């Protein structure tokens, strides 16, 4: 039934809405929203972005109005938008209220970490921009990418591998991803299982919990600055991060630690749930099951 439901989702299209085709000064808030605007070919309408919007690279040339969850109305209004499209959770709420009272069209896009959620996100951004035909084309491309990821997942023989997503190492404590997170969602799309069960959100976990989780693979983000360092130093940043993870006694005692199975991916591609999500799921699957 789950496979049938996903197949129906992949075939489904945008619900349809009038949107704001007249808007010519669009501000995107949230990395995935900005990616979708570019993927729709509507980037000429963008007059600003938030700090998390760093893909594609040309987005970095746009004025930065601040972090999506810590916005100031003055900073946002300084670029004179006539339409704001924001990821769910943009704020704080008081800032959003000020922006809405200022008469600027404000569209909040729901965030769900599954195939249906990312397709709905594409549809919602296309509807907000008033470009339904472009939205349908991007929806279909992303659906095909997600179908490819589903095929990889269904081809897994035996029990799926257990993956522990490590957000950060804070002192001697591991900050990891539980349920209802983007990390949990992409791990499942990649045909694997989140090793951290019974926990919701991103939480610090005890050494005992890490050892009990017994991950086969440890997954981490590769951030933009780390990528630049790696290119300049022959990949040393990736190696250093991997060594730091394996130096943690609790992680070193897991199957992943003993095997040195630490994989890293670009953070926005991995967790953004934007137009590259299908590609990200396939890439992650191949990293997790390499040599299997």
Q: What percent of the chain has pLDDT over 90?
A: 81
Structural domain count, the chain = 2
Domain match, 6 and 148 both? yes
* Whole-Å CA distances, 62 to 36, 81, 266: 15, 13, 21
**Residue 89 placed within a domain:** yes
pLDDT at 239: 81
Q: Which residues contact 285 (CB under 8 A, 6 or more apart)?
A: 149, 152, 153, 190, 191, 192
**Residue 157 placed within a domain:** no
**Residue 238 placed within a domain:** yes
Taking residues 52-60, what's their average pLDDT? 97
85 pLDDT exceeds 80?
yes
Domain match, 7 and 148 both? yes
CATH number at residue 117: 3.40.50.1980
Residue 170: CB atoms within 10 A of its CB come to: 9
| Residue ending a domain, choose from 113, 131, 152 | 152
Q: Which residues contact 225 (CB under 8 A, 6 or more apart)?
A: none
Burial pattern 215-235, b for ≥16 Cβ within 10 A else e, equals bbbbbbbbbeebeeebeeeee
User: pTM of this prediction?
Assistant: 0.89
Domain match, 72 and 104 both? yes
Q: Give 223's pLDDT tier (boundaries 50, 70, 90).
A: low
CB 14 within 8 A of CB 127: yes
Domain match, 8 and 132 both? yes
Query: Closest Cα to residue 28, out of 142, 119, 108?
Result: 108
Domain match, 146 and 199 both? no
- Residue 9: give the domain boundaries: 2-152
Report the alpha-carbon distance of residue 255 to residue 78 in Å, rounded: 52
Domain match, 106 and 48 both? yes
CB 192 within 8 A of CB 161: yes
Q: Over the stretch 169-213, which tens digit does the pLDDT of each residue have? A: 877 789 999 999 999 999 999 999 999 999 999 999 999 999 999
Q: Give 222's pLDDT tier (boundaries 50, 70, 90).
A: confident
CB 85 within 8 A of CB 50: no
Domain match, 276 and 169 both? yes
Domain match, 175 and 201 both? yes
Q: Own/partner pairs for 287-292, CB < 8 Å, 24+ apart?
A: 287/217, 287/263, 288/161, 288/163, 288/190, 288/191, 288/192, 288/216, 288/217, 288/219, 288/263, 289/156, 289/161, 289/191, 292/161
Phi first, then psi: give them for residue 192, nearest 5 degrees: -120, 180
Domain match, 85 and 104 both? yes
Query: Closest Cα to residue 139, out of 156, 125, 157, 149?
Result: 125
**Between these two residues, 228 and 139, which has the higher pLDDT value?**
139
Domain match, 6 and 77 both? yes
Name, of 9-23, 173-187, 226-240, the range with top average pLDDT: 173-187
**Residue 30 placed within a domain:** yes
**Residue 129 placed within a domain:** yes
As a 3-state breakdown, the chain gives helix, strand, coil percent values, each rounded to 5, of 50, 20, 35
**Residue 60 placed within a domain:** yes
Query: Closest Cα to residue 52, out of 86, 81, 84, 25?
Result: 86
Q: Give 15's pLDDT tier (boundaries 50, 70, 90).
A: very low
Domain match, 73 and 15 both? yes
Residue 4: CB atoms within 10 A of its CB come to: 8
| Residue ending a domain, choose from 152, 184, 218 | 152
Domain match, 142 and 30 both? yes
Two tokens, residue 229: 């360092």
DSSP state string for 50-71:
-TT---SGGGGGSPB---TTS-
14 pLDDT exceeds 90?
no
């Amino acid at each position: 039934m789950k496979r049938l439901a996903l197949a129906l989702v992949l075939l489904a299209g945008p619900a349809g809405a009038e949107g704001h085709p007249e808007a010519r000064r669009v501000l995107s808030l949230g990395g995935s929203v900005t990616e979708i605007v570019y993927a729709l070919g509507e980037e000429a309408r963008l007059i600003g972005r938030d700090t998390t919007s760093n893909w594609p690279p040309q987005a970095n040339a746009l004025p930065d109005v601040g972090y999506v969850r810590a916005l100031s109305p003055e900073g946002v209004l300084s670029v004179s938008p006539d339409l704001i499209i924001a990821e769910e959770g943009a704020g704080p709420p008081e800032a959003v209220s000020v922006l809405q009272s200022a008469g600027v069209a404000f569209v909040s896009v729901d965030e769900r970490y599954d195939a249906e959620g990312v397709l709905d996100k594409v549809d919602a951004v296309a509807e907000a921009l008033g470009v339904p035909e472009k939205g349908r084309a991007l929806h279909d491309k992303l659906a095909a990418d997600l179908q490819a990821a589903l095929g990889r997942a269904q081809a897994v023989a035996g029990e799926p591998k257990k993956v522990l997503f490590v957000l950060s190492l804070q002192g001697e404590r591991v900050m990891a991803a539980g349920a209802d997170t983007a990390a949990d969602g992409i791990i499942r799309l990649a045909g694997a299982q989140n090793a951290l069960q019974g926990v919701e959100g991103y939480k610090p976990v005890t050494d005992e919990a890490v050892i009990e989780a017994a991950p086969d693979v440890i997954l981490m983000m590769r951030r933009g600055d780390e990528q630049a360092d790696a290119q300049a130093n022959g990949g040393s940043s990736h190696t250093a991060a991997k060594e730091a993870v394996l130096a943690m006694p609790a992680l070193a005692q897991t199957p992943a630690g003993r095997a040195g199975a630490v994989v890293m991916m670009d953070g926005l591609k991995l967790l953004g749930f934007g137009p590259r999500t299908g590609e990200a799921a396939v890439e992650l699957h191949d990293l997790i099951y390499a040599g299997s």
